[in-house]
């Protein structure tokens, strides 16, 4: 496979963790005979400093010309001034919008070597392997909104949760496709017992799944029940698909399960064009430049990139196994060391690379 | 105190558990020198069988004439026919609406004697004591909704999350008052970084709290972050107030924490008039009539009734202590016995009564 991969390290620890993931991707190319070229672009605070914009046109062109994008993180106290013309986070919103990235994909996988750090009991969490598909460009966050002052001086404000058939169809299809490569089960989360917009969601989900994925098992769970099940029986779920707000809540709740946010990657996908891959952690300005950040989430984001944008499943699994192996040997960065001995960012990258090459 | 209390046992185990709570209330009256009179009304499936309606006018009159209402549970397979004219649950919706019950109050308290059944680790959950105030008659479930077919044949559906100042003010006041009798801290949950309706919620919360409850500490947490914190650091919260949908999700998530739904009560309050008190569990038709249902949630709902509607804090605490004592002695109904020896519904009621009288 020949592919151009855009690297957007961003701010803070983003630079350090993307560097380690890049080394892994280079090793994948060499070992499996692919040709990856890497192009770097500015996003976030560093882009504001250099160009005045959080997402310069040049970065956007680089991304459009690439098959996939690997992002570090954006933001930091330097750009937190509320009166600033633009903020680093605006770069993220713009790139998602410009590239039509309507699906946020979030694996929640509990590493057997780290579950003891989970707030949940080990027997509940060990073996959890959920893949969330959250709709990212519709629903309550993007519907009509407003506020008015009433004759009596009180105020009324509203937001609208709105979905059209095509928005539901396209994310259901992504979820259905992903389920085929996994345990062939998709759980759709809605509030169809109360909300009309959820009833359209449920009907569309049923129609697409029956017509296009008859081989995939489906189920419906209400959002409030799902918030319970995610704690009480998370192993019951494989692929989960839901709308924007419900997905926002559930993926954050789910991120607590593995007990180590430093390991969780995320992808944002569109209908075609490049997907965007990143760790779910932030730019962590307090530890930036110290060489102690955990690069594993970004390395696992690179594995997702190989799987979802380049369709290199074997290569993705090889990286994931290497990470597993390193953790099984007890190597830890400070954030997951629980006060015990910790390795540096670069050393953790090397350890994964060695494990990858040794398989 | 003289008070009339309406008893609406409803269906299934509702009858059995309300009977035990009534005995406790009678004992409270006797021991503390109050005069409670009890009036019974029909609601749910039994009301449909007798009158054709899930909430007969007579029941509503009884409730209006009472200071507080103790409800068991409604529903069962007998009334599950989807083509039926009315359903048992319609009785619940109607009574809330008719009595203007806009606040759902849900304590999440982890009994030290039962936390080992929680999916969360004991050190996370032991000592949790949260009081949720969920707005119950506004927001996304009650705003304008609709669906239309577009020119291209696709469909679009929407619901509206809408709040007016007065709806927010009145529930914030209830939360503020409750906080005064507790640890004097209120957490407001919203999504003000994205939603206009949440910005109105936050501004109104701040205004009411600063003007009327300057002695109470306040904080804001975003709904997605709260879904995380509720698992990772639930002991950080005391009183939590939020809108309808967010409260629906969070109270259900929170109900998993104590590891025993059979102990959780709930109240629905209005501005004045009687409050409605009930266990959060359902009518459990599978075990109805067997005498094995857990009456503790309903007994604790009766304690809430004493506290919130009759302002009898000492009496409420006395019941809660009696329940604690019985659990500390190892007595369990089947649902919380973990397969071990279990007592009957009536015996559990007697044990709590004995402990109450012994103090
Ligand atoms: Mg979030
Ligand atoms: Mg619910």
Q: Give the strand pairing for A275-279 and A265-269.
A: antiparallel
End of a domain among B256, B281, B314?
A: B256
Residue A113 and residue A1 share a domain? yes
Residue B275 and residue B251 share a domain? no
Q: Which residue stretches of chain A have pLDDT < 70?
A: none
List the single residue in A121, A161, A163 with the smallest CB-CB distance to B140: A161
Task: Return the structure tokens found at A86.
Answer: 């633009």
Mean pLDDT, all residues of chain B: 96
Domain that holds residue A235: 136-256
Contacts of B224 in chain A (CB under 8 A): 248-249, 252-253
Q: What's the CA gap between B74 and B8, in Å, rounded?
A: 9
List the single residue in A161, A166, A253 with the smallest CB-CB distance to B227: A253
Query: Can you give the CATH number for the domain in which A173 is found?
Result: 3.40.50.2300
Residue A112 and residue A2 share a domain? yes
pLDDT over 90 at B83, yes or no: no
Interface A–B counts its CB contacts (< 8 A) at 152
DSSP E strands in A1-128: the ranges are 2-10, 35-40, 68-73, 103-109
Residue B340 and residue B321 share a domain? yes
pLDDT-derived band at B132 (thresholds 50, 70, 90) equals very high
Of B293, B197, B115, B266, residue with least CA distance to A245: B197
B329 lies in some domain = yes
Q: Which pLDDT does position A69 carry in this prediction?
A: 98
- CB of A105 closer than 8 Å to CB of A268: yes
Q: Which pLDDT does position A330 carry in this prediction?
A: 95
pLDDT (average), residues B66-86: 93
User: What are the tens digits of pLDDT across the range A142-182?
Assistant: 999 999 999 999 999 999 999 999 999 999 999 999 999 99
User: What are the tens digits of pLDDT across the range B161-178?
Assistant: 999 999 999 999 999 999
End of a domain among B231, B256, B281?
A: B256
Task: Return the structure tokens found at A227.
Answer: 């918030």
A131 lies in some domain = no
A-interface mutation test, from B90, B149, B160, most A Cβ less than 10 A away: B160
Q: Is A148's Cβ below 8 Å from some Cβ in B?
A: no
A126 lies in some domain = no
- CB of A76 closer than 8 Å to CB of A288: yes
Q: Which pLDDT does position B260 carry in this prediction?
A: 84
A129 lies in some domain = no
Q: Which pLDDT does position A9 carry in this prediction?
A: 98
Residue B1 and residue B91 share a domain? yes
A315 lies in some domain = yes
List the single residue in A150, A159, A232 with the smallest CB-CB distance to B196: A159
Q: Which pLDDT does position A140 carry in this prediction?
A: 97
End of a domain among A198, A225, A256?
A: A256
B118 lies in some domain = no
- CB of A250 closer than 8 Å to CB of A256: no
Query: Can you give the CATH number for the domain in which B225 is found?
Result: 3.40.718.10
What is the predicted ipTM?
0.94
User: What are the tens digits of pLDDT across the range A103-126?
Assistant: 999 999 999 999 989 999 999 999
Residue A245 and residue A265 share a domain? no
pLDDT over 90 at B359, yes or no: no
Q: Which pLDDT does position A261 carry in this prediction?
A: 84
User: What are the tens digits of pLDDT across the range B186-199?
Assistant: 999 999 999 999 99
Q: Which pLDDT does position B262 carry in this prediction?
A: 86
Question: Please, what is the Cα angle at B321 between B316 and B326, to 5 degrees?
Answer: 130
Q: Which pLDDT does position A206 carry in this prediction?
A: 98
Secondary structure (3-state) at B9? strand
B contact residues 181-200, partner A, Cβ 8 Å cutoff = 191, 194-200
User: How many domains does chain B contain in total?
Assistant: 2
Residue B273 and residue B216 share a domain? no
Q: Which pLDDT does position B264 carry in this prediction?
A: 96
Of A315, A326, A313, A328, residue with least CA distance to A353: A326
- CB of B46 closer than 8 Å to CB of B7: no
Report how far apart the first and last C-alpha atoms of chain B are (Å, whole number): 21
Are B164 and A145 within 8 A, CB to CB? no
Distance B225 CA to ligand 1 centre (A): 7
Of A147, A224, A316, residue with least CA distance to B223: A224
A-interface mutation test, from B140, B191, B233, B236, most A Cβ less than 10 A away: B140
């Amino acid at each position: 496979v020949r592919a151009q991969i855009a690297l957007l390290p961003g701010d803070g620890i983003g630079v350090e963790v993307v560097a380690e993931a890049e080394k892994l991707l280079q090793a994948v190319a060499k070992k499996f005979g692919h040709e990856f070229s890497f192009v770097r672009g500015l996003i976030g605070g560093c882009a504001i400093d250099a160009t005045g914009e959080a997402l310069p046109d040049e970065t956007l062109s680089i991304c459009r010309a690439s098959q996939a994008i690997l992002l570090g993180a954006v933001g930091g106290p330097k750009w937190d001034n509320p009166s600033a013309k633009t903020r680093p986070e605006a770069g993220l919103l713009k790139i998602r919008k410009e590239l039509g990235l309507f699906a946020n994909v979030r694996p929640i996988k509990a590493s057997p070597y780290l579950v003891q750090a989970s707030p949940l009991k080990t027997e509940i969490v060990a073996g959890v392997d959920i893949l969330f598909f959250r709709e990212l460009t519709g629903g309550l966050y993007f519907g009509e909104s407003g506020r008015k002052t009433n004759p009596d001086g009180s105020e009324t404000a509203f937001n609208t949760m709105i979905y059209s058939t095509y928005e539901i169809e396209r994310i259901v299809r992504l979820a259905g496709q992903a389920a085929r490569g996994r345990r062939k089960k998709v759980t759709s989360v809605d509030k169809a017992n109360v909300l009309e917009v959820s009833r359209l969601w449920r009907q569309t989900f049923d129609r697409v799944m029956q017509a296009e994925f008859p081989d995939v098992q489906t189920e419906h769970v209400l959002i409030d029940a799902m918030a319970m099940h995610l704690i009480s029986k998370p192993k019951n779920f494989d692929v989960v698909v839901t709308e924007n707000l419900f997905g926002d809540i559930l993926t954050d709740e789910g991120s607590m399960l593995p007990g180590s946010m430093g390991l969780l990657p995320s992808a944002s996908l569109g209908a075609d064009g490049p997907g965007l891959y990143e760790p779910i952690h932030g730019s962590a300005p307090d530890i930036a430049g110290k060489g102690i950040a955990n690069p594993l989430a970004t390395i696992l984001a690179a594995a997702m990139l190989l799987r979802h944008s380049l369709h290199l499943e074997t290569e993705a699994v090889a990286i994931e196994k290497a990470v597993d192996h390193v953790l099984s040997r007890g190597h830890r960065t400070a954030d997951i060391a629980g006060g015990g001995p910790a390795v540096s960012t670069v050393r953790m990258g090397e350890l994964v690379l060695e494990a990858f090459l040794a398989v």
